[in-house]
C-alpha cells in the first residue's frame, strides 16, 4: 500500500511539474514580447508560436499583425512598380520679336495742271504726234509714278484760223491722240477725260495777231494752239 501511494504521488508530481513548465514557457513567451510587436505570440527563444496549420497565433494585445512570409504561407511580397523615367520638357519657345512694319508713305491731295504746246506735240494743222510730242508725253507719264490720279482732264484748243467747226474737230482729234498715247504707256483709260474747246478759249487778246493768215500771224497765234492737262488725285510724300 505504501509503495502504491508513493507511485501515485510521484506521477502526480511529474504531471504538475509538466503543467507548470508549459505555463511557465507560455508566460516566458509572453514576457519576451517586445512592446512594439505584441501582435504575435512567441516562445522563450523569440520564435513565432505556430498552429497546426502553420499560422501564427495572435495575442489580441495589439493591432492585427501585418502579413508576412513567416506567418502567412500564401504571402506575396509587394513589389514596387519601377520608377517612371523623367522626361525632359523643353523650355517654351519665345517668338522672335519682329520690328513693326515701316509706315506707309503719306498721301497728299493734289491738283496739278500742265499746259503743253500743241506745236510741240503736232505739226501745224495736224493731229498726229511728232517725235518731240511723244518725248513730252513720256516725261508726263513718268511723273505720274508718284501720283495716284483720280481724274486726268485733257482739253484741246485751236487758234482762230479756219472755221469754228473745223477748229472744234481738230481740237477733239488732238486730245483723242494724246489719250491713246497715254493709255499705251499704262495710264488707265477710265481716268482720262477728253474735251475739245476749238477756238473758244484763246490765250491771245482780240487785238493781237491782226491781219490775214500768214507765217507771222500763225507764229503769233501759237499760244492758242495748246493742250491743257490737269491731274486731280493724291501725291505720295516720301
pLDDT tens by residue, the chain, 238 residues: 444 445 555 455 444 444 444 444 444 444 444 444 456 666 667 666 666 666 666 666 666 666 666 666 665 566 667 777 777 777 777 666 777 787 776 667 777 788 888 888 888 888 899 898 999 999 989 888 877 888 999 999 999 999 999 999 999 999 999 999 999 999 999 999 999 999 999 999 888 888 888 899 998 998 899 899 988 888 766 6
- Domain shared by 141 and 46, yes or no: no
**Widest CA span of the chain, in angstroms?**
199
Do residues 212 and 146 share a domain? yes
Total domain count, the chain: 2
Structural domain span for residue 159:
106-237
What's the CA gap between 59 and 173, in Å, rounded?
A: 129
Work out the burial of residue 231: count CB atoms within 10 Å of its CB; fewer than 13 is exposed, 13-18 middle, 19 or more buried.
buried
Cα 3 from chain centre: 119
Mode of pairing for the β-strands spanning 226-237 and 147-156: antiparallel
The DSSP secondary-structure symbol of 50 reads: B
Helix (H) or strand (E) holding 19: helix 2-31
Mark 114-130 as b/e (b = at least 16 C-beta within 10 Å): eebebbebbeeeebebe
CATH number for the domain spanning 187: value is 3.30.1330.60
What is the distance between the alpha carbons of residues 102 and 144, in angstroms, rounded to a whole number?
23
Asked whether residue 140 falls in the same domain as residue 192, the answer is yes
Residue 210 lies in a domain: yes
Quick check: is 220 in a domain? yes
Cβ pair 138, 185 in contact under 8 A: yes
In a shared domain, residues 48 and 143: no
pLDDT of residue 108: 72
Q: What is the pLDDT of residue 71?
A: 67
Domain assignment of residue 76, yes or no: no
Same-domain status, 47 and 163: no
Rounded to two decimals, the pTM is: 0.52
192: in domain: yes
Note whether residue 44 is domain-resident: yes
Residue 230 and residue 130 in one domain: yes
Q: How far apart are CA 144 and CA 162, in angstroms?
A: 35
Helix, coil or strand: residue 143 = helix
In a domain, 170, yes or no: yes
- For 177, the enclosing helix (H) or strand (E) is helix 164-184
Whether residue 128 is found in the same domain as residue 47: no
62, 81, 97 — which closes off a domain?
62
Q: Is position 93 within any domain?
A: no
Determine, yes or no, domain membership for 96: no
In this structure, the answer to whether residues 214 and 133 fall within a common structural domain is yes
113 and 220 belong to one structural domain: yes
126 in the same domain as 231: yes
Amino acid at each position: 500500500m505504501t509503495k502504491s501511494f508513493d507511485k501515485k504521488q510521484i506521477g502526480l508530481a511529474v504531471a504538475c511539474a509538466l503543467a507548470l513548465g508549459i505555463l511557465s514557457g507560455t508566460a516566458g513567451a509572453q514576457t519576451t514580447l517586445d512592446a512594439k510587436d505584441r501582435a504575435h505570440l512567441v516562445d522563450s527563444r523569440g520564435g513565432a508560436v505556430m498552429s497546426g496549420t502553420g499560422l501564427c497565433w495572435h495575442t489580441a494585445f495589439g493591432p492585427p499583425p501585418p502579413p508576412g512570409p513567416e506567418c502567412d504561407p500564401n504571402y506575396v511580397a509587394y513589389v514596387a512598380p519601377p520608377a517612371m523615367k523623367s522626361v525632359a520638357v523643353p523650355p517654351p519657345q519665345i517668338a522672335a520679336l519682329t520690328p513693326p512694319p515701316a509706315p506707309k508713305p503719306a498721301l497728299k491731295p493734289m491738283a496739278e495742271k500742265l499746259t503743253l504746246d500743241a506745236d510741240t506735240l503736232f505739226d501745224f494743222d495736224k493731229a498726229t504726234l511728232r517725235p518731240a510730242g511723244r518725248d513730252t508725253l513720256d516725261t508726263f507719264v513718268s511723273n505720274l509714278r508718284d501720283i495716284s490720279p483720280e481724274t486726268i482732264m485733257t482739253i484741246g484748243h485751236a487758234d482762230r484760223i479756219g472755221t469754228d467747226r473745223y477748229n472744234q474737230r481738230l481740237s477733239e482729234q488732238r486730245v483723242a491722240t494724246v489719250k491713246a498715247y497715254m493709255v499705251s504707256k499704262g495710264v488707265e483709260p477710265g481716268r482720262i477725260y477728253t474735251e475739245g474747246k476749238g477756238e473758244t478759249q484763246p490765250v491771245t487778246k482780240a487785238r493781237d495777231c491782226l491781219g490775214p493768215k500768214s507765217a507771222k500771224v500763225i507764229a503769233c497765234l501759237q499760244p492758242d494752239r495748246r493742250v491743257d492737262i490737269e491731274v486731280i488725285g493724291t501725291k505720295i510724300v516720301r
